[in-house]
Structure 1
Amino acid sequence: MNILSIGSQGGWTIAIVGYFIVFLALVLLVVVFVNLPKLLHLNLRKKLVREGRPCAEVDDLNVEANVNAAIAMALYMHFDQIHDEESNIITIKKVTKNYSPWSSKIYGVMNQPR
């Protein structure tokens, strides 16, 4: 059976299967991203229990969003000050090319065979 002879029925099938695959991948990504913090939290709890520390320390590791934003802004400002101040002046120098017959197109146009 030739692909071209499938007709419009095959086109609809391919479109529906394609949409299904995309939505399935999106649902899978949502499930992974929702459960990833829970898995990391569980892993940290197991590690603390192995070390003999109480699991209450895990709950103290959660930081509020506004505190995270303040820390991120402080780090950004700190690392931005490390760079030296630039003059923001761009200098463009014109480069002169020496004439070369190898790059000249005029010889290809003018020398036509007879």
Structure 2
Amino acid sequence: MNLLIVDSMTWTITVLGWFIVFVALVFLIGVFLTVPKILTWGTRRALRKKNRMAKKEVVIDDELVITGETNAAIAMALHLYFNEQHDEESNVITIKEVKKRYSPWSSKVYSFNNVNFPR
């Protein structure tokens, strides 16, 4: 019994699997590189249209770029804002004894074990 024998179908499935994975990775890289360019292009187009209507200067490309430091500051401000919305707990647990109302369901008089024998 030789377990090292590999037929051609195994090699086909292996190569095809690797090929699909690499094609998917190349596709995702392409998507991640083109989406920011498309968004910047749309923003420039909208600003140019707005500036033409208001008869203002053309927007400089440096004004459209947001640096990493600016993104980090915005993210930190949002994080702090959303964390302040929660109530501060006192971390003290109090236990009150609550008197329960009488319930015939918990009464031992009406238990199932109460058998009435004839006299």
Give the alignment's TM-score, normalised by structure 1: 0.63
Aligned to 1:55: 59
Q: Which residue of 1 aligns with 2:31?
A: 32
Query: Which structure 2 residue ranges, 5 or more long, are not aligned?
Result: 1-5, 94-119
Pair 8,71 (structure 1): closer, same or farther in 2 beyond 3 Å: same
In structure 1, list runs of 5 or more residues that go unmatched. Answer: 1-6, 91-114
Q: How does 1:1-114 map to 2 (within 5 A)?
A: 8-51=7-50, 52=52, 54-56=58-60, 58-87=61-90
Query: Partner of 2:98 in structure 1?
Result: none
Alignment CA distance shift 1:88-1:31 (3 Å): farther
| Structure with more relative contact order (C-alpha pairs < 8 Å, separation 6 or more) | 2
The structure with the largest helix share of the pair is 1
Q: 1:40 to 1:8 in 2, by over 3 A?
A: same
| Runs of 4+ in structure 1 over 2 Å off | 86-90
The TM-score normalised by the length of structure 2 is 0.60
Question: What is the percentage of aligned positions where both structures have the same residue?
Answer: 45
- RMSD of Structure 2 on Structure 1 (CA): 2.5
Aligned pairs, how many?
Answer: 85
- Structure of higher CA gyration radius: 2
